[in-house]
Amino acid sequence: MRCGYFDDSKREYIIINPITPVKWINYIGSIEFGGFVDHTGGALICRGDPALNRLTKYIPQLPDSSMKGETLYLRFIEDESFKIFSPFYTPTLDPYDRYECHVGLSYTRILSEFYGIKTDVTIFVPFGSHRVIRSIKITNISDRIVTIDVIPVVEYTHFDALKQFTNADWIPQTMQSKIFNEEKGLKILTQFAFMNKDIKINYFTSNFPISSFESDRRNFLSNYGYGSWIRPLSLLKEGLSNTEAQRGDNIAVLMHHLGKLKPGETRRVVTQLGQAESVEKALPEIQRYRKEREVDSALDDIIKFWDEYLSRMQVETPDELMNSMLNIHNPRQCYITKNWSRYLSLYQLGLGDREMGFRDSSQDVMGILMSRPYEGKTFITKLLHIQKRDGCAMHQFNPLSMGANEGDLREKEDSPNYYSDDHLWVVLSTVSYLKETDDLDFLNENIPFYDRDSRGNSLDSGTVLEHLMRAIEFTHSHTGDHGLPLLGFADWNDTVNLNFGAESLFVANLYGLTLREMMDLMEHMGDQETLERYREYYEEMKKCFNQCSWDGKWFIRYFDCDGLPIGSHTNTEGSIYANAQSWSVISGFAPPDRAKTALDSVHYYLTTKNGIKLCWPGYNRYNPEIGGVTTYPPGAKENGGIFLHTNPWMMMAEAMLGNGNRAFQYYNQINPATKNDLIEEYECEPYCYAQNILGDEHTQFGLARNSWLSGTASWVYQAGTKYILGIMPTFKGLQIDPCIPHYWEGFRVKRWFRNAMYDIKVKNPTKICKGINTITLDGSEIEGNIIPIFNDEKKHIVIVLMG
């Protein structure tokens, strides 16, 4: 079964069957103002903090046929009564002649045909604006004259999204609506919470005369609310009640009489759902976006933004689905995850229990550094504000208030009081930023550490370089009995929480890679002394690691507080963990023979056709000694599920060993575009990565969940571009070292790097996976595989002959 197809020429995915197994969504606007729109027109919109300033009531747990946040009704007269339907399919579920939801970059366009009426709605948030635009074009495609009414609907939530669900007394008493009448029948229907009245209002308006309106849900559905969204009884009457709600469940419904449309005739209504301090303050912008040409040009601006964003790298490989992902959907998802972190999706409900993850954001930002390096720098600067003076970091933070918290540390009183990996990721992203830009001045910027005195004054600050060095020193000085990094509360795997004294072999390797990156930086800066120190740290950790980590066929994942291994053949459950294998290669710690054996074991024990499982076999019962991982059934999430974030690390490890066939197999088996024909099994959007797929120990093997906001986006993008295609920024220039399937005849990449365009054609005449015979640059052969930095705004032709 498939529900749609990719249209790369328009950079859209087009859904043609509204009955997708779960809602498929798209992001509009930014965390400043925006949210997501589902493919049947429902929308969850927030301004700033999704927990404290939410506009629409989108309840993902309601059945998919329900009204969620926003919808649109049309009606016309048939047999002397009103025929009502929604051109979005839900909530009226009428039979459609055509249904298309175009999932575009920062806009969604829903195009449908019902009863001889074509509706074409484009939904987006203009840049820098606090409003959702819905541009609604209605065309009479029948051969008779039809009188059409257009009735857009918004259902509000209280600003405080959690309270909306927990206090059913206070909330309805505070919600109110008020109408503002303007000239020529235009109206602005506002909505506010009584106590917030002077601070902010939501409003819903359009550029078309409004004959009547409704703001009370009970009136709209009628029969004291026993009417339904499928057939709101008030729509059977000529006009709406013009009620200004004084309490209750507030909605906004605007009745537009388009009048008589001749066959072929089109009319357009543009609605705005926005938020402002007052109607007076909002008015100039409302008037601006009532002009169709302003609306069109705001949409053009969005298209231009993405033109520019995506033009930083374009690839042509023999694999069409890889091209779709690397050219469009994957970089786009990287930007979304960097901006929205884990705040708001169908799965992350943004209700305040979770802020931005320090480790998540440090990894997400790596996915945007090529396209938006300076935005990346601003973001990394924020992250460094959350680092503590001892070098480790707070676990979560709020990017608006810049407050931070310790994540789950609070849950276990006597638990180790830090996460052992957070601070190392930000070193990787900072060095990655420097390799992309060579903006070494950044290293001298002074940034306070998070620690404050009782008055809120910062207790310490340091340059960016000091921040990075303290991160290294933290891990260096927090080691256990084997000389390996202590696990703390958890490492990347949040759900394995061992008692104090446990050690993490994953962090040993993450530290190894971090040291290598810092060594590159020290070499570039000419700081020989620090370079030598880090080399010693590296060799020291490598030695400790290799003394105790080998289990025979793979690497161990943890030592618990008694020094017993986890992720070993001696464990009956959780015997082998994927990250222990991939990262031992990525760090450079694994000797070649063990590296190969470990990756072969992954291929044998952990690889499935839908991706690589995180561990095997799954834990079968709750075990408080191990932690959260044992709360999932085997095959789900961290407990032997296919946790997609980790799959690109295996692609990278295989590529480092020269195994292009496997690297690509691993790329391909999780590419969501390859699931397009398997949607009944996979269920989630085929145009973005999910966080997890159920593993083969689960009866629903292959089922994806938690799409969109996942670190998978950033890492697959890096694995695909830097390791498989092998185009890697370095301090010396752009390194080219592809590792591709042997049967590829070659590929082409156009990439901007340091203000020059590198047009790279790779040819693979002898059908190998890795290895370069010659490279010519602008017609002359060069030594080595690093193309120099030009900084000349020009295009340079690079021909790479593998061999």
- The whole-angstrom separation of Cα 551 and Cα 460 is 43
* Look-up of token digits 């074509």: 118
Nearer to ligand GLC, 660 or 711 (CB): 711
Phi then psi dihedrals of residue 730, to 5 deg: -135, 170
Q: By three-state DSSP, how is residue 540 classified?
A: helix
Taking CB under 6 A as the rule, does residue 638 contact ligand GLC? yes
* Residues 679-708 contacting ligand GLC, CB under 6 A: 691
At closest approach, how far in Å is the CB of 785 from ligand GLC?
33
Residue tagged active-site, from 319, 494, 520, 551: 494
Q: Between residues 108 and 337, which has the closer beta carbon with respect to ligand GLC? A: 337
- Specify whether the CB–CB gap between 430 and 378 falls below 8 A: no
Token digits for 100? 């298309």
Alpha carbons within 13 A on the beta-carbon side of 602 = 31
Could you tell me the smallest distance in angstroms from the CB atom of residue 745 to ligand GLC? Answer: 37
User: Which residues have a Cβ under 8 Å from the Cβ of 373 and sit 6 or more positions away?
Assistant: 433, 436, 437, 439
Question: How far is it, in rounded angstroms, from Cα 307 to Cα 757?
Answer: 15
Q: Within the chain, how many helices (H) and strands (E) appear?
A: 19, 42
Of 316, 320, 346, 318, nearest to 674 by C-alpha is 320
Cβ nearer to ligand GLC, comparing 219 with 337: 337
State the alpha helices, DSSP H only, in 267-407.
279-288, 292-311, 320-324, 330-340, 358-364, 373-385
Residue 91 vs 357, nearer CB to ligand GLC: 357
CA distances from 179 to 253, 501, 754 (A): 11, 64, 54
- Contact string 316-355 vs ligand GLC (x = CB under 6 A): --------------------------x-------------
Closest CA to 108 of 31, 32, 41: 41
One-letter amino acid identity for 655?
A
Kind of pairing, strands 12-15 and 25-29? Answer: unpaired
Q: Rule CB under 6 A: is residue 359 a binding residue for ligand GLC?
A: yes
Beta carbon nearer to ligand GLC, 11 or 342: 342
Q: What is the CA radius of gyration of the chain?
A: 28
CA dist 245 and 191 (Å) reads 9
Q: Minimum distance between the CB of residue 89 and ligand GLC, rounded to whole angstroms?
A: 32
Closest residue to bound ligand GLC by CB = 494
The residue (of 419 and 534) whose beta carbon lies closer to ligand GLC is 419
* Shortest CB 647 distance to ligand GLC, Å: 13
**Interface size with ligand GLC, residues (CB under 6 A):** 10
Give Dmax over CA atoms of the chain in angstroms: 89
> What tokens appear for 383 in the block?
């992250």
Residue ranges of the alpha helices (H) in 711-791?
712-718
Q: Which stretch binds ligand GLC (CB under 6 A): 136-144, 265-273, 489-497, 657-665?
A: 489-497
With respect to ligand GLC, which residue has the nearer C-beta, 342 or 423?
342
Which CB sits closer to ligand GLC, 207 or 493? 493
What CA–CA distance (Å, rounded) separates 362 from 386? 11
Q: From the CB of 711, what's the least distance to ligand GLC, in Å? A: 6
Structure tokens at 88: 């979005």
Residues between 493 and 512 with contacts to ligand GLC, criterion CB under 6 A: 493-495
Smallest gap from residue 395 Cβ to ligand GLC (A): 9
Distance between CA atoms of 104 and 124, rounded to whole angstroms? Answer: 10
CB 153 within 8 A of CB 67: yes
Instruction: Decide: helix, strand or coil at residue 162.
Output: helix
How many angstroms separate the CA atoms of 726 and 334, rounded? 19
Q: How far is the CB of 363 from ligand GLC (least distance, A)?
A: 8
Question: Cα angle at 726 between 337 and 688, to 5 degrees?
Answer: 25
Q: Which of 357, 485, 695, 733 forms a contact with ligand GLC (CB under 6 A)? A: 357
Nearer CB in complex with ligand GLC: 497/674: 497
CA dihedral 694, 695, 700, 706 (to 10 degrees): 0
Q: Which is nearer to ligand GLC, 577 or 687 (CB)?
A: 577
Other residues' Cβ atoms within 10 Å of the Cβ of residue 387? 27
Please tell me the distance from the alpha carbon of residue 758 to that of residue 307, in angstroms, as a whole number.
18
Beta bridge pairs of residue 154: 70, 252
Q: How far is the CB of 393 from ligand GLC (least distance, A)?
A: 12
Among residues 267, 367, 252, the alpha carbon closest in space to that of 312 is found at 367
Point out which span in 329-337, 357-365, 559-567, 601-609 binds ligand GLC (CB under 6 A).
357-365
Q: For the CB of residue 364, give the shortest distance to ligand GLC in the complex, in Å.
A: 10
Residue closer to ligand GLC by CB (options 18, 357) is 357
- Region binding ligand GLC by CB under 6 A among candidate stretches 197-205, 492-500, 619-627, 697-705: 492-500
Kindly write out the interface string for residues 268-307 of this chain, putting x where it contacts ligand GLC by CB under 6 A and - elsewhere: ----------------------------------------
Which window, 181-189, 424-432, 487-495, 599-607, contacts ligand GLC (CB under 6 A)? 487-495
Binding window for ligand GLC (CB under 6 A); candidates: 59-67, 411-419, 486-494, 674-682: 486-494
Nearest distance from C-beta of residue 761 to ligand GLC, angstroms: 38
- Known active-site residue 494: yes
Residues in region 235-274 near ligand GLC by CB under 6 A: none
Yes or no: say if 387 and 470 are a contact pair by the CB < 8 Å rule.
Answer: yes
Q: Is 550 in the site for ligand GLC (CB under 6 A)?
A: no
Least distance in Å: CB of 417 to ligand GLC? 18
Closest CA to 558 of 651, 622, 474, 627: 627
Q: Please, what is the angle between helix 660-670 and helix 647-656, to 10°?
A: 170
CB 638 within 8 A of CB 614: yes
CA distance linking residue 584 with residue 599, whole number of Å = 10
Q: Which is nearer to ligand GLC, 138 or 510 (CB)?
A: 510
In whole angstroms, the minimum distance from the beta carbon of 582 to ligand GLC comes to 14
Shortest distance in whole angstroms from residue 624 CB to ligand GLC: 17
> Which residues participate in catalysis according to the annotation?
494
The footprint of ligand GLC (CB under 6 A) covers 342, 357, 359-360, 492-495, 638, 691
